[in-house]
Structure 1
Amino acid sequence: MTETLQDYDDGIAAIDAQHIRPGLAAIHLLVEGDKAAFIDTGTNCSVPGVLEAMQRKNLRPENIAYVIVTHVHLDHAGGAGEMMRLFPEAMLVVHPRGARHMIDPTKLVAGSVAVYGKESFRRAYGEIVPVSANRVIEASHGFTLDLNGRRLLFLDTPGHARHHFCVFDERSKGVFTGDTFGISYREFDVDGREFIFPTTTPVQFEPEAAHDSIDLIMSHHPRAAYLTHYGRVTQLSRLADDLHRTLDDFVDIAEGVRDTGAVRHQRLVEGLGNYLLERLNAHGCRLSHDEALTLLENDIELNAQGLAVWMDRG
């Protein structure tokens, strides 16, 4: 069972976003003195858990200086508008390509409804609250932010999405990676050894950019990565190699079913699922295949959709 609030070193904590299931999505809290920042927000349904964590940390709304979203996919940014409403002194920090979607979320909502369907979208995300333009900071590559004397460096990291940045914390030498450094669920850890795979979800997956972004993160020699899915990982050299290899393998699986017509999606889902199960077996995962597939089902489906969009784009 994933703890609702997980404390790490250097004033960093992970709050379970309580999105779909425990341990799927994390909201990271960074505290420096009497000021704090949230990195990614989960959904509107995550906000009560955020407020509870703030109580446990003795943080008041006026202590929140920044709400930072690594990108505007709604499992990362869906709760941003509501959090900005509750934290009147906070500024929203977002990639320049994503800022307009936080100010006017109409197109963002329409795109998500196209992926999930109207009813599923409403259950998962609720009403997306817009953010006033005068409370938005656009963070391009190389932008730095001061959190009460703590310097945060923003890195443009496309591949998963063109509106994605990562945040390098110079104090801890940790990097908050959103989806760029993949997915690593704690249920798959084996004797402290972490398992990772990339996320290729719709609609802007670009393999070459994804490889470059992983290399950019590693060029800063981080001590740890804080993943939205899920929490801190530290074996970064091995994990980066795994991500590079798996990205190539995902592309190969997609290319292998490119011309299979009406059954392409089904074969892509099956290929990704079988591949990940084989990797988990090699990793020494102690879960049954059914247990592992239950944890991976949503990711496999979305990754298959993203790879299909990439192939169709040519």
Structure 2
Amino acid sequence: MSLDPSIITIDTGFQRADFDAAYLVIQNGRAAFIDCGTGLAVPAMLAALADAGLAPDAVDWLLLTHVHLDHAGGAGLLLPQLPNATVVVHPRGAPHLIDPTRLIAGATAVYGEAEIARSYGRIEAVPADRLRIADDGHRIDLAGRALLCMHTPGHALHHFCVWDARSQSWFTGDTFGLSYRELDSARGAFIVPTSSPVQFDPEPLKASIRRMLQMQPQTMYLTHYGPVQDVQRLGADLLEQIDAMAQIGRQCHERADRHRCLLAALTALYLERAQAHGCALDDDAVTQVLAMDIELNAQGLACWLDRSTR
């Protein structure tokens, strides 16, 4: 299947090439951004507009799937460059855009101050009068093209995904996992769930994935990274892995070395699946590609375990 030419993938440059995507959707000379990366990505976002022959005032919408900094950290810096744009966000995410203090503190607790400064740059507030709250099923009109915001908890409580009926596609944020092109094989894309801190919950995440699959999508536009097809196979892979990850969490939970146990078991799970998928990279290279995600998934599982046993 071919991809819709009105959807442009933007590499935000976060961490490395082909790791963190935002999207530009164009309809009748008007545009919407879906996610925007960090503050360091503002030049790339504006360059994508220029490359498409559009001025910044052509952007009507900035839809944020959730407010984690690799998806939305640059919103406060990008918005002043887009005079006609309205930010669309889940009700739970809006307060963190208006006052990002807690968001910054939470990310700093996970990554550390030095990493926040190096990778995320400045984080500015979004004016409340430029926000629109997207309840479940909220419809955005992009020059006659409907974009539907559907709440998809599991990765985060404040997550929505965006359904584009024209292309029969979802913009998935982190709900539909991670798929890096280095791990593609003759079978197609290789996919891994993401359970990064602090609100991972396996059952709601599976329900969200099933809800998305019911739309019979042609393409999933992932933040990490890019469009993938063969969607039903990938969805089944995700559902299997979420169950396996939850079981790993339960097995490691009571151990004194819980974090080390989680890291080792998650690494083994992903390597086994990568080998079965026919990934060309050896085990060390696969582990290197997934190293950050394995660490974050271990932390996400730990948060879920602690929350569920309180």
Q: Please give the TM-score of this superposition, normalised by the length of structure 1.
A: 0.96
Selected match of 2:260 from 249, 263, 266? 266
Tell whether 2:95 aligns with 1:96.
Answer: no
Tell whether 2:286 aligns with 1:284.
Answer: no
CA contact (8 A) 1:143 1:153 kept: yes
**DSSP 3-state at the match of 2:37:** coil
Selected match of 2:122 from 122, 127, 134? 127
Code of the residue aligned with 2:298 in structure 1: it is: A
Q: How many residues align?
A: 307
Structure 2 CA distance for aligned equivalents of residues 114 and 144 of structure 1: 35
Tell whether 2:282 aligns with 1:294.
Answer: no
Residue equivalent to 1:226: 221
Structure 1 CA distance for aligned equivalents of residues 210 and 5 of structure 2: 25
Structure 1 CA distance for aligned equivalents of residues 119 and 83 of structure 2: 25
Name the CA shift for 1:192/1:86 in 2 (closer, same or farther; >3 Å): farther
Name the CA shift for 1:62/1:202 in 2 (closer, same or farther; >3 Å): same
| Displacement of 1:9 | 1.4
| Displacement of 1:298 | 0.2
Name the CA shift for 1:61/1:208 in 2 (closer, same or farther; >3 Å): same
Tell whether 2:197 aligns with 1:202.
Answer: yes
Structure 2 CA distance for aligned equivalents of residues 58 and 13 of structure 1: 12
**DSSP 3-state at the match of 1:9:** coil
Structure 2 CA distance for aligned equivalents of residues 27 and 153 of structure 1: 17
| Displacement of 1:8 | 3.9
Q: Which runs of 5+ in 2 are unaligned?
A: none
| Displacement of 1:191 | 2.3
Deviation digits for residues 107-130 of structure 1, max 9, x if unmatched?
111110111011111111122111
Structure 2 CA distance for aligned equivalents of residues 101 and 88 of structure 1: 22
Code of the residue aligned with 2:218 in structure 1: it is: R
Structure 2 CA distance for aligned equivalents of residues 279 and 292 of structure 1: 11
Q: Which runs of 5+ in 1 are unaligned?
A: 1-6
Code of the residue aligned with 2:158 in structure 1: it is: H
| Displacement of 1:177 | 0.5
Structure 2 CA distance for aligned equivalents of residues 295 and 47 of structure 1: 25
Deviation digits for residues 169-199 of structure 1, max 9, x if unmatched?
0111111000001111111111261111100
Residue equivalent to 2:212: 217
Deviation digits for residues 78-126 of structure 1, max 9, x if unmatched?
1111111111110000011101111111111111011101111111112
| Displacement of 1:214 | 0.3
Code of the residue aligned with 1:76 in structure 2: it is: H
**Sequence identity percentage:** 48
Structure 2 CA distance for aligned equivalents of residues 11 and 147 of structure 1: 12
CA contact (8 A) 1:185 1:230 kept: yes
Alignment of 1:78-93 (within 5 A): 78-93=73-88
Residue equivalent to 1:181: 176
Q: Please give the TM-score of this superposition, normalised by the length of structure 2.
A: 0.97
| Displacement of 1:221 | 1.5
Selected match of 1:158 from 153, 158, 167? 153
Alignment of 1:104-123 (within 5 A): 104-123=99-118
Code of the residue aligned with 1:140 in structure 2: it is: D
Residue equivalent to 1:45: 40
CA contact (8 A) 2:187 2:277 kept: no
Residue equivalent to 2:9: 14
